């Protein structure tokens, strides 16, 4: 049996190790994925279909089955960050690709911001793609 003093030293070392291991993993997750623009398609007056792809940076492979739980579209790229529209998820036929119908009331530069949960990763993956709406 260890004397009391040594015992707490061992406990401390254990905690430090746990933190050292946890922090790099948490930061690695968000950096390991990237959200890229695949295509932009006008979908009627004031509507634009935007397709993005989620890829693993290390292997360059598309990541399917991610849960995109937060979306925002606004005209930040054209200096109007408060001008926002509704974003509705749409069906995508390609694994690793995610499609959205965005309300784009004005022609010009828009930004689509996404937050995603990837299976098996604790950290939220966030990404922004910019695109031009024609109307
Ligand atoms: Cu605007």
pLDDT of residue 29: 61
Q: How far is the CA of 101 from the centre of ligand 1 (A)?
A: 17
Q: Which residues surround ligand 1, an ion (CB under 5 A)?
A: 75, 80, 83, 106
Domain of 24, in residue numbers: 1-31
Q: Indicate which CATH number applies to the domain containing 129.
A: 2.60.40.3340
Tally the residues of the chain: 135
pLDDT of residue 86: 97
Cα within 13 Å of Cα(122), Cβ side = 7
Residues 24 and 59 in one domain: no
Residues 84 and 119 in one domain: yes
Q: How far is the CA of 74 from the centre of ligand 1 (A)?
A: 8
Cα–Cα distance, 73 to 107 (Å, whole number)? 13
User: What stretches of 1-135 show up as alpha helix (H) in DSSP?
Assistant: 4-31
pLDDT of residue 134: 93
Residues 37 and 90 in one domain: yes
Low-confidence ranges of the chain (pLDDT < 50): 1-27
Q: How far is the CA of 54 from the centre of ligand 1 (A)?
A: 27
Residues 12 and 61 in one domain: no
pLDDT of residue 130: 98
Residues 57 and 5 in one domain: no
pLDDT of residue 11: 41
pLDDT tens digits for range 75-88 = 999 999 999 999 99
Partners of 78 in beta bridges: none
The total number of structural domains that make up the chain:
2
Q: Say what the pTM is.
A: 0.77
Residues 94 and 124 in one domain: yes
């Amino acid at each position: 049996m260890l004397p009391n003093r040594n015992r707490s030293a061992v406990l401390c070392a254990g905690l430090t190790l746990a933190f050292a291991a946890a922090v790099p993993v948490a930061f690695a997750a968000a950096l390991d994925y990237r959200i890229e623009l695949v295509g932009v398609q006008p979908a009627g007056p004031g509507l634009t279909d935007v397709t993005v792809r989620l890829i693993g940076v290390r292997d360059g492979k598309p990541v399917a089955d991610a849960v995109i739980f937060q979306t925002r579209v606004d005209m930040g790229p054209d200096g109007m960050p408060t001008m926002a529209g509704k974003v509705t998820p749409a069906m995508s036929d390609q694994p690793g690709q995610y499609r959205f119908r965005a309300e784009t009331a004005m022609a010009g530069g828009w930004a689509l911001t996404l937050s995603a949960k990837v299976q098996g990763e604790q950290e939220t993956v966030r990404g922004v793609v910019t695109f031009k709406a024609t109307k």
